[in-house]
Amino acid sequence: SSPSESPILFGYLTLYNVFSAIGWSLVLYTTTRHLLTAPYLPSSAGISNGPKATSAFARLFSSLPGMKSGAPSVLPTSSIESFVLDKLPFLEPFIMRSHTLYQSAGLLTAVVQSFAVLEVAHVVLGWVRSAVGTTAIQVASRLILVWGIAERYEEARTSPFYATMLLSWSTTEIVRYTYYALSLLSSSTSPISYQVSIPYWLTYLRYTTFYLLYPTGAGSEAFCMYATLPKSNPLNSGPWVQKMLWGRWGFEDWVRGFMFVIWWPGLYMMYTHMMRQRRKVLGWGPGKTIGAAP
């Protein structure tokens, strides 16, 4: 049954989207508050390590054969971070606070994001019209970042890119889930006795904010993964080829390196897909369909 034919299903999907929007609002609030008000050490004091991984997921991943990283445990300031601090010193408080953001927002983000596995079930059960493969890949990539990367590696969860990743994720999801909830409530076949309308500004945000948030989100994801690689990687000086090929890179290091590479064409595919969707929904540019259903 479609949501319009089943009041129970309609209510469940509506509440799922509402609570998801609330959850990501809490992530955005926690992240912003930490970056603005948390105590921090100056850059001269070095990076303050975040908490060690303690979740059952992290222990399970760590126990798998070959899943032992060659990444160092000492966290030097990255070359990117040093460059930013040198050129834009006013960003130092925010960058230094980002090193401990995981302590404030890590668990909350993991819990909120983990509920997204229900979206795969929604598609499989036919409750939501979407491609199973695409939905599964999108959810899996987020879970990999939450449980397989940030939860396990200090280099990822103390990186400034972890903060920009959460800011991009939470802003995107607040708009997306709010839009979905109102889409259900505004449907002409809704089982409720009244309908609400989707404000145009929300539709505009839904199909416009990706211009900024997709590159910052996906780029931050990629560089969080990159931060976990052994320092014998192509972007660092030294005989990195020999170090990569002769024992410094473990199996999972190669996997994360491969993921870092494929993240960029993946971003391009999603970016161009959203541009096409924007033209269809907002009715601007070639291929426009004014008034098309989202």
Mention every residue, 6+ apart, whose C-beta is less than 8 A from residue 146: 109, 110, 113, 114
226 counts as catalytic: no
214 counts as catalytic: yes
> Which is nearest to 150 in space by CA: 230, 228, 229?
228
DSSP state string for 128-178: S-S-HHHHHHHHHHHHIIIIIIITT-HHHHTSHHHHHHHHHHHHHHHHHHH
- The span from the CA of 31 to the CA of 167, in Å, is 7
Q: Which contacts qualify for 198-204: CB closer than 8 Å, 24 or more apart?
A: 202/175, 202/178, 203/179, 203/281, 203/282, 203/294, 204/282
> Which is nearest to 165 in space by CA: 113, 126, 87, 120?
113
For residue 256, the surrounding DSSP H or E stretch is: helix 251-282
- CA 146 distance to own-chain centroid: 8
- Catalytic-role residue among 214, 226, 252, 268: 214
- Catalytic-role residue among 16, 221, 226, 252: 221
End-to-end CA distance of the chain: 20
> 213, 171 in Cβ contact below 8 A?
yes
* Active site (catalytic) residues: 214, 221
